[in-house]
């Protein structure tokens, strides 16, 4: 069975919508097989976001992602990597379709509530990174 790494970002927990987001994941039929809250450090975040660490928005993203706890999860299901990306919606909040998590909750691209792995290969790397 395919697995993906999902992370509810600090704004999801601060706004108290983590439960609603988890409900959407479960309603779709995916299984949450591991979950834990954690406080991200700058080092592991830079590893996780290596592909964008040199972008001008990175300092703002780092401040946000380390501003409070995240909820890290391993989610399992058929084709769950692609399926979760569709459920999440587009990265840019203004492009995220209604009915998607970001489309329904996000009003900012940095604070966009949820991370999901973008490939099966990256899912395994990210699961190892955050669940050892
Ligand atoms: N991000 C941002 N500004 C941008 C693009 C991305 O603040 O112009 C943040 C946003 O929180 C996004 C994260 O950086 O979720 C990672 O970017 P990526 O392109 O990997 O998007 P994702 O895979 O999360 O949709
Ligand atoms: Mg990404």
Q: Which residues surround ligand 2, an ion (CB under 5 A)?
A: 118
Say which residues have a Cβ less than 8 Å from residue 64's Cβ, sequence separation at least 6.
9, 10, 11, 110, 111
Query: What pTM does this model have?
Result: 0.97
State in Å, rounded, how far the first CA of the chain is from the last one.
19
Q: pLDDT value at position 28? A: 98
Query: Model confidence over 79-115: pLDDT tens digits?
Result: 999 999 999 999 999 999 999 999 999 999 999 999 9
Closest Cα to residue 113, out of 8, 6, 29, 16? 8
CA of 29 to the centre of ligand 2 (A): 23
For residue range 10-52, list pLDDT tens digits in order: 999 999 999 999 999 999 999 999 999 999 999 999 999 999 9
Q: Tell me the mean pLDDT in the region 43-62.
A: 98
Identify the active-site residue in 115, 116, 126, 127.
115
Q: What angle do CA 60, 121, 32 make, to 5 degrees?
A: 75
**Cα dihedral 31→50→20→15 (10° resolution):** 150
- Tokens matching residue 128: 């190892």
pLDDT of res. 106: 98
Residue 76 confidence (pLDDT) = 98
């Amino acid at each position: 069975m395919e697995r993906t790494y999902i992370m509810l970002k600090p704004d999801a927990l601060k706004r108290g919508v983590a439960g609603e987001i988890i409900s959407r994941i479960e309603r779709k039929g995916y299984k949450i097989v591991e979950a834990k809250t954690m406080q991200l450090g700058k080092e592991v975040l830079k590893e996780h976001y290596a592909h964008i660490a040199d972008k001008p928005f990175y300092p703002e993203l780092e401040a946000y992602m380390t501003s409070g706890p995240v909820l890290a999860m391993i989610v399992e299901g058929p084709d769950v990597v692609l399926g979760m990306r569709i459920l999440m919606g587009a990265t840019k909040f203004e492009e995220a379709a209604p009915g998607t998590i970001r489309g329904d909750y996000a009003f900012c691209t940095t604070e966009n509530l949820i991370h999901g792995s973008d490939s099966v290969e990256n899912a395994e790397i990210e699961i190892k990174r955050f669940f050892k």
